[in-house]
């Protein structure tokens, strides 16, 4: 059963409180101008205070340069950086060294062959996040509410630390857990009533569904 659950794309006190009250281990803030979940570093810095000692605050960036990362790290003091663009292993290593923070590299998957992208990042990134490839025409590298074939994850080494992401919701998370048994889960649009608008009821329902799946597996 998942050790970690990340609620991503938070912008309000209410949504953050719902994530924390329900037991999120990670809370994510998106720094990508085209996203409906985009947040200013200073606002994320204020929000993330409530997460201290409860959940790790994750700054999600897309091919960000040092100047933007400096601004984010200074304003919000994240616990982790999620690199959700086409950052190379060398760039991941550079970011890790520059900020001394754990890094989660996001990779987008559709089929088994896409897992070849994992090897070059092993020993470089601290964690992986496996998301679906964006649909054609999407301007967003993540947060598209699209899932992939979770069966491809069963061929991964058991020690690989990753979050399963992409198109999860309360209705399908039980199946995702039964198939892939991932160490972590990440969700964004599946707990929204509209793009970028988190819904506290959907957040609670997602955690309930995870708990229900946990009971089924334990029985
Ligand atoms: O969510 C976004 O808008 C976003 C924009 C740019 C880069 C990454 C983004 N999201 C990253 C995440 O970690 C999402 O939670 C992940 O892609 C899953 O999203 P969803 O399919 O909506 O659950």
ipTM of predicted complex: 0.98
Angle at 162 between CA 157 and CA 164, to 5 degrees: 110
Q: Whose CA is nearest to atom 11 of ligand 1?
A: 142
Give the position, in ligand 1's atom list, of the atom nearest the Cα of 169: 23
pLDDT band at 215 (very low <50, low <70, confident <90, very high): confident
Give the position, in ligand 1's atom list, of the atom nearest the Cα of 106: 13
Is beta strand 197-198 parallel, antiparallel or unpaired with respect to 56-61?
unpaired
Report how far Cα 139 is from the mean position of its chain's Cα atoms: 18
Output the CA torsion sign for 21, 182, 164, 190. Answer: negative
- pLDDT, tens only, 124-175: 999 999 999 999 999 999 999 999 999 999 999 999 999 999 999 999 999 9
Q: Does the beta carbon of 60 sit less than 6 angstroms from any atom of ligand 1? A: yes
Ligand 1 binding pocket mutation candidate from 60, 128, 167 (most atoms within 8 A of CB): 60
pLDDT at 183 over 90: yes
Q: What was the pLDDT predicted at 3?
A: 82
Q: Does the beta carbon of 145 sit less than 6 angstroms from any atom of ligand 1? A: yes
- pLDDT, tens only, 23-37: 999 999 999 999 999
Q: Does the beta carbon of 184 sit less than 6 angstroms from any atom of ligand 1? A: no
Average pLDDT, the chain: 96
C-alpha 218 – ligand 1 centre gap (Å):
30
C-alpha 109 – ligand 1 centre gap (Å):
14
Listed residue (26, 21, 15) closest to 185, CA to CA? 26
**Mean pLDDT across the stretch 204-211?**
97
Q: Which position has the token pair 């990134």? A: 125
> Phi/psi at 133 (nearest 5 deg)?
-65, 140
Q: State what percent of residues in the chain have pLDDT above 90.
A: 95
**Mean pLDDT across the stretch 117-130?**
98
Q: Does the beta carbon of 41 sit less than 6 angstroms from any atom of ligand 1? A: no
pTM score: 0.96
Identify whether the C-beta of residue 5 lies closer than 8 Å to the C-beta of residue 23.
yes
- Give Dmax (Cα) for the chain: 51
Q: Does the beta carbon of 37 sit less than 6 angstroms from any atom of ligand 1? A: yes
pLDDT at 75 over 80: yes
C-alpha 8 – ligand 1 centre gap (Å):
7
Q: Does the beta carbon of 102 sit less than 6 angstroms from any atom of ligand 1? A: no
Local structure of 38: helix, strand or coil: strand
Q: How far are the Cα atoms of 146, 147, 169, 200, 205 from residue 208, in angstroms, in the given order?
A: 21, 20, 11, 12, 5
């Amino acid at each position: 059963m998942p050790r970690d659950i990340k609620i991503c794309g938070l912008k309000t006190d209410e949504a953050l409180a719902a994530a924390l009250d329900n037991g999120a281990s990670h809370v994510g803030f998106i720094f990508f101008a085209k996203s409906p979940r985009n947040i200013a570093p200073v606002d994320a810095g204020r929000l993330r205070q409530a997460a201290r000692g409860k959940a790790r605050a994750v700054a999600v960036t897309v091919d960000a340069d040092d100047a933007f990362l400096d601004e984010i790290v200074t304003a919000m003091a994240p616990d982790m950086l999620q690199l959700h663009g086409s950052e190379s292993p060398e760039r991941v290593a550079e970011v890790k060294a520059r900020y001394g923070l754990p890094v989660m590299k996001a990779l987008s998957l559709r089929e088994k062959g896409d897992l070849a992208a994992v090897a070059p990042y092993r020993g470089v990134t601290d964690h992986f996040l496996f998301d679906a490839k964006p649909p054609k025409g999407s301007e967003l590298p993540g947060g598209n509410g699209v899932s992939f074939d979770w069966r491809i994850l069963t061929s991964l080494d058991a020690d690989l630390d990753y979050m399963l992401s992409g198109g999860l919701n309360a209705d399908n998370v039980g199946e995702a857990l039964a198939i892939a048994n991932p160490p972590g889960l990440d969700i964004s649009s599946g707990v929204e009533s509209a793009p970028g608008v988190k819904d506290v009821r959907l957040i609670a329902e997602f955690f309930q569904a995870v708990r229900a799946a946990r009971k089924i597996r334990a029985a």
